[in-house]
Homo-oligomer: A and B are copies of this chain.
Amino acid sequence: MSEVYAARRERLRERCTAGGSAAALISRPANVRYLAGAAPQGAVLLLGKGEDLLLCTGPPGDQPAQGRLDEALRVQLLERPGGDPAVAAADCAGAQGAESLAVEEHHLTVARHRAIRSVAPRLRLADVGGAVEQLRVVKDEEEISFLRIGAEIADQALGELLESILVGRTERHLALELERRLVDHGADGPAFPTSVATGPNSGRRGHRPTDRRVEEGDFLSVCLGATYHGYRCEIGRTFVIGTSPAEWQIELYDLVFAAQRAGREALAPGAAYRDVDRAARQALESTGHAEGLPPLTGHGVGLEIDEDPQLAPAAMGKLDACVPVTVEPGVHLPGRGGVRIDDTLVVRPEADGGPELLTITTKELLAL
CB within 8 Å of B: which residues of A?
Answer: 41, 62-64, 81-82, 103, 105-111, 113-114, 127, 172-173, 176, 179-180, 183, 204, 206-208, 295, 312, 314
Provide a sorted-by-A list of 24 A–B residue pairs whose CB atoms are within 8 angstroms. Answer: A62-B204, A64-B206, A64-B207, A81-B295, A81-B312, A82-B295, A82-B312, A82-B314, A103-B110, A105-B109, A105-B110, A105-B111, A105-B114, A106-B109, A108-B109, A108-B110, A109-B109, A109-B110, A111-B127, A176-B176, A176-B179, A176-B180, A176-B183, A180-B180
State the Cβ distance, A23 to closest chain B Cβ, in Å. Answer: 17
* A207-B204 Cα distance, complex, nearest whole Å: 35
Taken together as a complex, chains A and B put the C-alpha atoms of A114 and B105 apart, in Å, by 9
Q: A64-B206, A103-B110 are in contact. List 6 more A-B contacts (CB 8 A).
A: A82-B314, A105-B109, A105-B114, A109-B110, A110-B110, A110-B127
Given the complex of chains A and B, what is the CA–CA distance between A347 and B173 in angstroms?
36
A60 to chain B, nearest CB (A): 13
Known A-B contacts A105-B109, A111-B106; the reply to A208 vs B172 at CB < 8 A is: no
When distances are taken between beta carbons in the complex, the residues of chain B under 8 Å from A207 are 64
A230 → B minimal CB distance (Å): 13
Q: How far is the CA of A64 from the CA of B206 in the complex (A)?
A: 7
CA distance A207 to B110 in the complex (A): 31
Q: Of residues A108, A176, A312, which shows the largest number of chain B Cβ atoms within 10 Å of its Cβ?
A: A176
The 6 closest A-B pairs by CB, nearest first: A105-B110, A81-B295, A106-B111, A105-B111, A110-B113, A176-B180
